[in-house]
Structure 1
Amino acid sequence: MKNVLMTAMVALAFVAAPSLNAQDFKVDKSPMDQAAFPTSYKEANKDIKVTYSRPQLKGRELSKLAPEGKVWRLGANEAVEVTLYKDMKLGTTPVKAGTYTMYAMPNGKEWTVILSSDLNVWGSYFYKPENDVARITVPVTMEDESIEYFGMEFTPEDKGAHLHMAWGNARVEVPFYN
């Protein structure tokens, strides 16, 4: 009797549960992505990992999405989170192992890249300069080829890695050292 009653209750739950059609399923238009160093999936011991969302230009200008002189979340949705698995340096500034939020402030031919102790932040709306852990100003290069989706990737460098960011025609390289 218990089995019959249990079966009836489970069947009723499935019938009463709202159905989700493929047309109703919402897919994030700026999907989450990550880049890690070392870049090989065969290397489990990472030095650094960046988690971000990949917006698209969709005919818009980068200068409108990331205006000069204003703090930008570097991507879409939540602000970028950087996890250092060991003590490193952002340029020449020592940074302890841990997780940080990363922002950028575009300024013409250079960007100021900022690591903040704030976490779980939506966009850059709640950015607080007093929580900055490290800042570095890096040059921006402009390329002929435009990239539709914002992207990040690491390349190995002597004693560390450089985080490359690209969107539209802008390219930025951020040095992290051991």
Structure 2
Amino acid sequence: MKLQKNISLIVIALFVTMLANAQNKPASPAAVATGSINGANISINYSSPSVKGRVIWGQLVPFNKMWRAGANAATTIETDKDIKIEGSKLPAGKYSFFVIPSEKDCVLIFNKVSKMSGTSNYDEKQDQLRVTVKQQLSDTNTESLVYTIKKNSIVLSWEKWNIPFSVK
């Protein structure tokens, strides 16, 4: 009887520990995408929110308003060499990355102030580069926001949208 009681207490303790650990998982975990394009090492640091049944584009992320391109602190993009984004030069460095989505296209912003908690301290005068790209609708749903560094592009994917931009 005593052994059975001890086993029951151990099982309860394990269950409580597992439950506590499950609750500590962040809603938008930190993520990093790294890769190389034409000899430039690129690193993207972001927090990856999940769709969780919500409508993202036009609702959770409003159209025609600046978005930090992830959750929590502003997303950053760092390159160790000069690159061209959509044909425009982006010097080597670390930048905060923002998106202004609309129903027909997205404005991508690379800002020289790399440490921002969101958009509240944003200063347009510190923009290094702004480009406009067309988003693409996807047949599949991307539950958690992800950045993918490809051979000649970077793609932000979330919900039913892919936002690709060329990098050379």
What stretches of structure 1 move > 6 A for 4+ residues in a row?
A: none
Number of aligned residue pairs: give it: 148
Give 1:117-156 correspondences, 5 Å limit: 117-156=112-151
Structure 2 unmatched ranges of 5 or more: 1-16
Alpha-carbon separation, structure 2, partners of 1:87 and 1:103: 19
TM-score (norm 1): 0.77
Q: Determine if the alignment matches structure 1 residue 169 to structure 2 residue 167.
A: no
In structure 2, the partner of 1:37 is 35
- Give the conservation status (yes or no) of the 8 Å contact 2:68–2:98: yes
Q: For 2:47, which of 46, 53, 56 is the aligned residue?
A: 53
Alpha-carbon contact 1:101-1:116 (below 8 Å) kept: yes
Per-residue displacement from partner, 1:65-124 (whole Å, max 9, x unpaired)?
211110000110011111111111222221221100000000112101000011221122
CA distance in 1, matches of 2:72, 2:51: 14
Partner Cα distance (1:48, 1:96) in 2: 12
5+ long unaligned stretches in structure 1: 1-20, 40-44
Give the whole-Å Cα distance in 2 for the aligned partners of 1:46 and 1:119.
19
Query: Counterpart of 2:7?
Result: none
Deviation of 1:57 after TM superposition, in Å, equals 1.1
**Which of 26, 29, 35 is equivalent to 1:28?**
26
The 8 Å contact of residues 88 and 176 in structure 1, kept in 2 or not, is answered as yes
| 1:103 aligned to which of 98, 118, 123 | 98
Structure 1 residue aligned with 2:111: 116
Counterpart CA distance in 2 for 1:147 and 1:88 is 28
Provide the aligned C-alpha RMSD in A. Answer: 1.8
Task: Give aligned-pair identity as a percent.
Answer: 25
Q: Distance in 1 between matches of 2:30 and 2:131?
A: 25
User: 1:174 is aligned with what amino acid?
Assistant: F
**How big is each residue's C-alpha offset from its partner over 1:9-62, in whole Å with a ceiling of 9 and x where there is no partner?**
xxxxxxxxxxxx7627733211111111239xxxxx752111111001111111
DSSP-derived class of the 1:130 partner: helix
The Cα shift of 1:175 comes to 1.5
**Cα distance in 2, alignment partners of residues 92 and 141 from structure 1:** 19
